[in-house]
Structure 1
Amino acid sequence: MPKKIAPRHAPPEKPRTDFDVLIVGAGSAGLSAAMLLGRCLRRVLVCGSGAPRNVTSPAVHAFLSRDGTKPADLLQLGREQLKPYTTVQLQQACVSQIRPTDYGFQVAIESEAGRAYSVTARKVLLATGVEDELPPLPGMREMWGRGVLHCPYCHGWEARDTPLAVYGHGKSATGLALLISRWSKDVILVTDGPGNLTQNARRRLRQQHIRVLEEPISHLEGTKRGELRHIVFKNGDKLARHAVFLHPQQHQRSPLAQELGCRITGKGAVWVDKGGQTSVPGIYAAGDNTPGPQKAIIAAADGTRAAMIINEMMTREECPR
Structure 2
Amino acid sequence: MSAPDAPNGPFDTVVIGGGPAGLQAALTLGRMHRRTLLLDSGEYRNAPAEHMHNFVTHDGTPPAEFRAAARAELATYATVTVREVAASAVVPDGEGFRVELGVDTAATAPVAARTVVLATGMRDTLPAIPGLEPLFGTVAAVCPYCHGHELSGRHVAVLGSGPHVTRVAFLLERIASRRTVLADGGELDPGIRAQLADAGVAIRTEPVKELSPSAAGATVSFADGPDEEVGGLFVAAEFGQRAPFAERLGLDLLPSGAVEVDAMGRTSVPGVFAAGDMAHTSAMPMPLASVLTAAASGLIAAAALDGDLLALDHPS
TM norm structure 1: 0.91
1:264 aligns with 2:249: no
Alpha-carbon distance, 1:236 to partner: 4.8
Q: Deviations 1:39-62 (Å, cap 9, x if unpaired)?
A: 000000000113321122121111
Alpha-carbon distance, 1:173 to partner: 2.1
Q: Aligned to 2:224, what secondary structure does the other structure show?
A: coil
Q: Aligned to 1:78, what secondary structure does the other structure show?
A: helix
Task: Check 1:209–1:113 CA distance in 2 against 1; reply closer, same or farther (3 A cut).
Answer: farther
Q: Deviations 1:255-294 (Å, cap 9, x if unpaired)?
A: 0111000011111111111010111111110001113211
Alpha-carbon distance, 1:253 to partner: 0.5
Give the 5 Å matches for 1:198-237. Answer: 198-223=189-214, 228-237=217-226
Task: Check 1:112–1:251 CA distance in 2 against 1; reply closer, same or farther (3 A cut).
Answer: farther
Q: 1:304 matched to which residue of 2? A: 299
Task: Check 1:113–1:168 CA distance in 2 against 1; reply closer, same or farther (3 A cut).
Answer: farther
Match of 2:63 among 63, 66, 71: 71
Q: Deviations 1:194-250 (Å, cap 9, x if unpaired)?
A: 23x322222211121011211011100214xx9733111011520010011012001
Distance (Å, rounded) in 2 between the aligned partners of 1:217 and 1:114 = 51
Contact 1:147 1:227 in 2 (8 A): no
Q: Aligned to 1:141, what secondary structure does the other structure show?
A: helix
Q: Aligned to 1:93, what secondary structure does the other structure show?
A: coil
Distance (Å, rounded) in 2 between the aligned partners of 1:42 and 1:274 = 22
Residue-pair matches, total: 309
Contact 1:4 1:18 in 2 (8 A): no
Q: 1:84 matched to which residue of 2? A: 76
Distance (Å, rounded) in 1 between the aligned partners of 2:205 and 2:274 = 40
1:252 aligns with 2:247: no
Distance (Å, rounded) in 1 between the aligned partners of 2:107 and 2:123 = 26
Alpha-carbon distance, 1:114 to partner: 9.5
Q: Deviations 1:120-149 (Å, cap 9, x if unpaired)?
A: 101100000111101111110111111111
Distance (Å, rounded) in 2 between the aligned partners of 1:63 and 1:85 = 25
Q: Aligned to 1:301, what secondary structure does the other structure show?
A: helix
Q: 1:284 matched to which residue of 2? A: 273
Q: Aligned to 1:86, what secondary structure does the other structure show?
A: coil
Distance (Å, rounded) in 2 between the aligned partners of 1:70 and 1:23 = 23
1:127 aligns with 2:119: yes
Contact 2:160 2:186 in 1 (8 A): no
Task: Check 1:84–1:258 CA distance in 2 against 1; reply closer, same or farther (3 A cut).
Answer: same
Distance (Å, rounded) in 1 between the aligned partners of 2:93 and 2:67 = 32
Alpha-carbon distance, 1:102 to partner: 2.1
Give the 5 Å matches for 1:33-72. Answer: 33-72=25-64
Q: Deviations 1:49-83 (Å, cap 9, x if unpaired)?
A: 13321122121111111111111000000000111
Q: 1:21 matched to which residue of 2? A: 13
Contact 1:129 1:253 in 2 (8 A): yes
Alpha-carbon distance, 1:17 to partner: 5.2
Give the 5 Å matches for 1:131-170. Answer: 131-170=123-162
Contact 1:92 1:112 in 2 (8 A): no
Contact 1:5 1:19 in 2 (8 A): no
Structure 2 segments unaligned to the other structure (5+ residues): 281-286
Structure 1 segments unaligned to the other structure (5+ residues): 8-15
Q: 1:109 matched to which residue of 2? A: 101
Contact 1:17 1:122 in 2 (8 A): no
Segment drifting more, 17-26 vs 112-121: 112-121
Q: 2:24 matched to which residue of 1? A: 32
